[in-house]
Structure formats: C-alpha cells, structure tokens
Amino acid sequence: MYRLTRVRWRPFRENFIRIFIRLFRVDMQEAQEPNPGTYETFNAFFTRALRSDARPIADEPDALVCPADGALSQLGAIEDGRIFQAKGMDYSLLDLLDGNADWAKRFIDGNFATIYLSPRDYHRVHMPTAGKLREMIHVPGRLFSVNRVTTALVPRLFARNERVLCLFEGEAGPMAVILVGAIFVGSMDTVWAGQVTPTRGHSPRQRYADADSVGLAKGEEMGRFNMGSTVILLFPAETVEWEPSLLVGEALRMGQRLGRARAGASTG
C-alpha cells in the first residue's frame, strides 16, 4: 500500500484519486488545490492541505480545539490508570505510553479523548493547544484496524498498535498527542522530524533528540497520517473541561472547540 500510494504514473494515480473521491464523497472544494489531476501521487492527495478558511480555529483564550477531522470515538476521565476503549474493554495508560512511568503519572486521574479519522477525512493533525515538545517516542507494534467494529472486539487495541507519542509541555500543563497507526498506516509524519515510522518492517524505539527547539501554537499543524487512523489526547487531572454537548460517534472538524482549560490554565 505504501508503494501504491506513491506511484507517479499518471493514468494510475489519477484514476485512483478520482475513484477514491467518488467512493468516499470527498469535498474537494475545501482543498487548497481542488483539482485532483494536479497531485503527483495518491499520498499527496490524501495528505492535501485545506484552504486557509476551511477550518477556523476556536479563538477563545481558554479554548481546547479538536486536532483533526474525524469522529469522537471516546472521551472522558482516566480512572485508576486505565482508559476506556469500548463497552467492556479498557487499556492501561502506562501501556499506551510504552511503560514511561514518568509521563504516565502526570496523566493519572486526568482526561482523554480518542478521535477516529476515516478515509474521507482531512488527514493532517493540529495542536489542540499551544505547547513545546519535550519528547517524541516511536513505539513499534501491530497494525489492527481502528474502526468501531475492531475497537469493540480487539482488547487493548490502542496500546498494541504502532504509535508515535508526542509529549508536550504547555501553558495548560503537560499534554500528549498520540498518533496511532492502523491497517495500511505504517507511515506517520511530524512537522519537526518528517517520516517517523519505517517504510517497511519495524524500527527500534526512537526519541527525538532536539525536542526543546520545537514550539507550536494552538491550531498549528504538528503531523499527519499517510492513511487513516486515530489520535488520542491526554491531559492531567483538573486542567480541562470537555464541552458537555459532545457525544460519542459525533462528527468533529479540526479547530472546533472540544472544551476549555480550567481556571489557572490557559491554552495560549
């Protein structure tokens, strides 16, 4: 799939793109480049930029914004060091963070949100709040599908799949933005390190050596999936309040308000 999505032969890639647009009803009027024929590869189309006005960023000083287009898979509190996955199933915060006890303890009794990106969605990931990168860890793993069916069937799914842990310090406190791989998604990028995951096979765990140089504003692009997958957000206890109207399964758009930083924390 990695090779297919990077084929440059015009008849193949143009047909591939046009069939995908029809099949998933992709709105190309939102794209910075709306003409499907101008993309050099399917992957260039899949990770396309949007018009600057297509996704307004909630601008209230305390707003916590959605990092990606997608559907709200789950949202709530981290209880007893565990994160809810689906009815009857949860997984360990420590496992999700690859055994990093120092970071895990920062999110004990905190809050999480899980956002599923379908194939039709915009596939760039943006900052929910301003933050400075402290650590990036690539965790090799499985590539189970992450749709609603598999999240209800596969135990500890998000703690087993390949993932990139992006760990930040911000004005609202510590924050994790976790890019979770899935079937066909063996390639994830960040804006500071480029492609993080290997083209084939598995690489050892990696930590980004120059994290202190990376500071990103709320709403700024931080990474992308080279096929669809899931983003998990983690926040410490008593730092955020979710919008009470949010419902599991609800369609989300990047930049909309997910919640707010509580008194004493500002998202910048």
DSSP states of 77-144 as a string? Answer: E-BTTEEEEETTEEEEHHHHTTT-HHHHHHHTT-EEEEEEPPTTS--EEE-SS-EEEEEEEEE--B--
What pLDDT shows up at residue 149? 72
Return the higher-pLDDT residue of 140 and 100: 100
Question: Is the pLDDT assigned to residue 228 strictly greater than 90?
Answer: no
Q: For residue 119, what are the contacts with CB-CB under 8 A and spacing of at least 6?
A: 20, 24, 227, 228
Q: How many CA atoms lie within 13 A of 16 on its CB side?
A: 19
Instruction: Mark whether 30 and 155 lie in a shared domain.
Output: no
Domain around 18: 1-52
Average pLDDT over residues 24-33: 92
State how many domains the chain has.
Answer: 2
Question: Cα(93)–Cα(63) distance, rounded to whole angstroms?
Answer: 25
Average pLDDT over residues 144-160: 81
Does residue 10 fall inside a structural domain?
yes
Return the higher-pLDDT residue of 232 and 206: 232
Report the SS3 class of residue 185: strand
Instruction: Mark whether 61 and 34 lie in a shared domain.
Output: no
What pLDDT shows up at residue 266? 45
Of 167, 161, 177, 174, which Cα lies nearest the Cα of 233? 177
Active site amino acids: 69, 126, 229
Instruction: Mark whether 124 and 65 lie in a shared domain.
Output: yes
Does residue 12 fall inside a structural domain?
yes
Question: Considering the entire predicted model, what is its pTM?
Answer: 0.89
DSSP, res 255: T
